[in-house]
Amino acid sequence: MSGVVGIKTKTGKTQKLFYSLSSIQHRGQDASGIILSTGSNLRRVRGLGLVNEIFADENLEDSEGEYGLGHVRSAQEGCNQDYNVEPLVSFAKGNEFSLAHDGNLVNYQALKKKEEDAGMAFHTYTDSELILLLITRYFEGDIVKAIRRAMKDLRGAYSCVLCMPDKIVGFRDYNGIRPLMLGFDEETTIIASENCSIEILNIDDYRDIEAGEIVVCDKDGIKSYKDDKKVNCKHCIFEYIYTARPDANIEGTNAYMFRRRSGELLYDQAPVEADLVCPVPDSGTPSAIGYAQRSGIPFAAGLVRNRYMGRTFIKSDQKERELSVRLKLNPQKSVLNGKRIVLVDDSIVRGTTSAKLIQRIRKAGAKEVHIRVTSPPVTNPCFYGVDTPDKSKLIAANLSVAEINKKIGADSLEFLSIDNLMKLTNNPDDYCNACFTGDYPIKREAK
- pLDDT of res. 305: 86
- pLDDT band for 43, please (50, 70, 90 cuts): very high
- One-letter amino acid for residue 374 of the chain: T
pLDDT > 70? residue 59: no
- pLDDT band for 200, please (50, 70, 90 cuts): very high
pLDDT > 60? residue 280: yes
Q: Contacts from 41-46 at CB under 8 Å and sequence distance 24+? A: 41/96, 41/165, 42/89, 42/96, 42/98, 42/163, 42/164, 42/165, 44/87, 44/89, 44/98, 46/82, 46/85, 46/86, 46/87
pLDDT > 60? residue 316: no
CA 35 to the chain's CA centroid: 21
Percent of the residues in the chain that have a pLDDT greater than 90, as a whole number: 84
Average model confidence (pLDDT) across the chain:
93
